[in-house]
Amino acid sequence: MRQILHIDMDAFFASVEQRDDPSLRGRPVVVGGANRRGVVAAASYEAREFGVRSAMPMAEAHRRCRNLVVVPPRGGRYAEVSRQVFDVFYEHTPLVEGLSLDEAFLDVTASRGLFGDGAAIARRIKERVVEATGLTASAGVASCKFAAKIASDLDKPNGLTVVPADVAGFLAPLPIERMWGIGPKTAPTLRRLGYLTLGDLAKADPGALERALGSWGPEVRELARGNDPRDVVPDREAKSIGAEVTYDTDLTTREQIARTLLAHAARVAERLTAAGIAASAVVVKLKLHDFTILTRRMTLPSPASDTRTIHDACLVLLDRFPLERARVRLTGVSAQDLGPAEAVQPTLFRDEKEDKRRGVENVLLRAKERYGDKPITFASLLEDASPRAERAAAKPVRGGSPGERAPSPGRRR
């Protein structure tokens, strides 16, 4: 029988903030944008007592908890702690499938001879994570990924749930909302049809479920029966790397939008450079004041990982949006069709400008590694600079508002 673990850090971003700043401990903390149009990226357990949850609009979070403490995200810090956590995972098995910075599947079937059964390995990992980071994690142990993920969420925080050999029996009494993909919109429909638990879904007529859920219905029935043959897939490659921000005040001019796209392009380029990958396509996303979402995509002439090339593509795409009288509340940039930077096909004649741009990105990355949280930005993003300035010189920003600081993937550059 396979032994699959799902390890999920407890309120990861918020817990990192409370660990790093003792004054936040015991207080209702959320990580996210300070503006009321933002969303909650993570909520501490103290905030969850008020009904505050991740992905909740910040305005709603404030309504539910008047004493809410909002902390801006520090992507670089979370990535650093995440690496420590994943190092612990790799101490126990090479079969680690990361789902995000704070959770992963581990196949420990072949590790039992060294560390004991799945439950023993999960306990050992939880202890090692505390030793390495001072943070707690919850774990689920099962013979399949679906059951392991559900189990890890049943005893939070700092929990450990082991699914017995009778996986279907374990799942049967759980409410249908435990099934991935069944949320506030789908659940009422299923409940009206008499499906209240996963056991009901497991016993359902396949045709009836297909009529209710479409082609997804048969898969739901099999998962509810504990049939999930999916393997743990290690080192899953990223499909895209992106950055986006929601603004307190709508953007109304092309120049304002272009400047935000430069900030996003710089952030994306930093992450591409750090990962040693390049993008063959760029996507620009705009959300209008009425929540309409517009996107435009283009393929690059050759794969790139530098700010200038990505931003130039963004400006071309920007001209394809209907911006007359538009009021934009969110802008975003993502790099897609990713591949190893070293795999880019060399040309007969070297492009000195392209080499220089890649050199700038490497200088920025080294400066960030050297100076840590000291903010670094492009001159074009300073208050008196044009968003289309030709130069992209790296300059340290002394002081300034949190919005101007971005030495890490979690902050704006």
**What residues act catalytically?**
103
Quote the tokens at residue 51: 């009904």
Quote the tokens at residue 109: 């079937």
Going by their DSSP bridges, the two strands 376-378 and 394-396 should be labelled as antiparallel
Distance of CA 278 to the CA centre of its chain: 19
Name residue 39's beta-bridge partners: 57
By the 10 Å C-beta count (0-12 exposed, 13-18 middle, 19+ buried), 196 is classed as middle
**Separation CA 384–CA 403 (nearest Å):** 15
Which amino acid is residue 76, in one-letter code? Answer: G
Quote the tokens at residue 45: 């357990």
CB 279 within 8 A of CB 336: yes
Give me the sign of the Cα torsion angle 58, 63, 65, 66. positive
Edge-to-edge order in the sheet of strand 277-288: 240-251, 328-340, 277-288, 293-304
**Separation CA 61–CA 363 (nearest Å):** 40
